[in-house]
Chains A and B, each alone.
Chain A
Amino acid sequence: SSELTQDPAVSVALGQTVRITCQGDSLRSYYASWYQQKPGQAPVVVIYGKDIRPSGIPDRFSGSTSGNTASLTITGAQAEDEADYYCDSRDSSGSQVLFGGGTKLTVL
């Protein structure tokens, strides 16, 4: 399969928990990575592998996978988490990199 599907927009109340999902057949074989992109800035990786946070990423960010769906969970969303979030992974053959279409997260 050559697609990763994300919901275009998600909202969450300040301090609540939100899950952003990424669907694709390749996620049955490959883990997703997740990127946060704020306006006018380059993306920053927040989760990669099974559930690995780079240094400096708050522990309210976590990742998981079930079947063909990868999820990024923000537990206790903060105002500064408002951003676009993208997943990426390999395609099912492992021969190319795919990005999801992105999810715009609004913190209310």
Chain B
Amino acid sequence: QLQLQESGPGLVKPSETLSVTCTVSGDSISTSSYYWAWIRQPPGKGLEWIGSIYSSGSSYYNPSLKSRVTISVDTSKKQFSLRLSSVTAADTAVYYCAREVGGEWNYNWFDPWGQGTLLTVSS
């Protein structure tokens, strides 16, 4: 059974770069047809898609975050990672990783999700 597990520092200082890694177990990260995604949720608020990456490295990002986001993949380690630069308190959130599954051209969904990791931006 596919499982995803996020790991991160927990606390990041303002203006620094936030880094989170997702480790995939139970299947190959190189399996075709899947993207691997990052999604965040500020405390008490809704979900926000950050971006997604294919095993080949092809990626696409939320335009509102694109200038600060880098998502990378390491298939040998079965991991993909998120880096978010110049963080502020507004970036405090639970960060989830998830597999993005494509159906026909006109739908996709996220399944499964990791349990999430809370990253707090504070000095």
Which A residues have a C-beta under 8 Å from some C-beta of B?
29-33, 35, 42-45, 48-50, 52, 54, 86, 88-90, 95-102
Which B residues have a C-beta under 8 Å from some C-beta of A?
37, 39, 46-49, 52, 60-63, 96, 100-101, 103-104, 106-111, 113-116
> Given the complex of chains A and B, what is the CA–CA distance between A101 and B47 in angstroms?
7
Q: A95-B60, A96-B60, A96-B62 are in contact. Are A45 and B49 (CB under 8 A)?
A: no
> Given the complex of chains A and B, what is the CA–CA distance between A89 and B103 in angstroms?
12
Q: Is chain B's interface secondary structure helix, strand, loop, or mixed overall?
A: strand
> Given the complex of chains A and B, what is the CA–CA distance between A63 and B46 in angstroms?
21
Contact A43 B47 (CB under 8 A): yes
18 sample A-B contacts, Cβ–Cβ < 8 Å, listed by A number: A30-B107, A33-B107, A33-B108, A35-B47, A35-B110, A42-B113, A42-B115, A42-B116, A43-B110, A48-B103, A50-B107, A86-B47, A89-B107, A95-B60, A96-B62, A97-B100, A98-B49, A99-B39
Q: A33-B107, A48-B107 are in contact. Are A99 and B48 (CB under 8 A)?
A: yes
Q: A89-B107, A96-B63 are in contact. List 11 more A-B contacts (CB 8 A).
A: A29-B106, A30-B106, A32-B107, A48-B111, A86-B46, A90-B106, A96-B62, A99-B47, A99-B48, A99-B49, A102-B47
For B60, the chain A residues whose CB sits under 8 A away are 95-96
Q: How far is the CB of A1 from chain B (nearest CB, A)?
A: 13
Contact B49 A88 (CB under 8 A): yes
For A43, the chain B residues whose CB sits under 8 A away are 47, 96, 110, 113
For A101, the chain B residues whose CB sits under 8 A away are 46
For A100, the chain B residues whose CB sits under 8 A away are 46
Q: A49-B103, A96-B63, A102-B47 are in contact. Are A42 and B111 (CB under 8 A)?
A: no
Identity of the chain B residue whose Cβ is nearest the Cβ of A98 in the assembled complex: B49
Contact B104 A49 (CB under 8 A): yes
> Given the complex of chains A and B, what is the CA–CA distance between A101 and B114 in angstroms?
20
Contact A45 B111 (CB under 8 A): yes
Chain B CB within 10 Å, residue with most, of A30, A43, A44 = A43
> Given the complex of chains A and B, what is the CA–CA distance between A86 and B39 in angstroms?
13
Contact A48 B47 (CB under 8 A): no
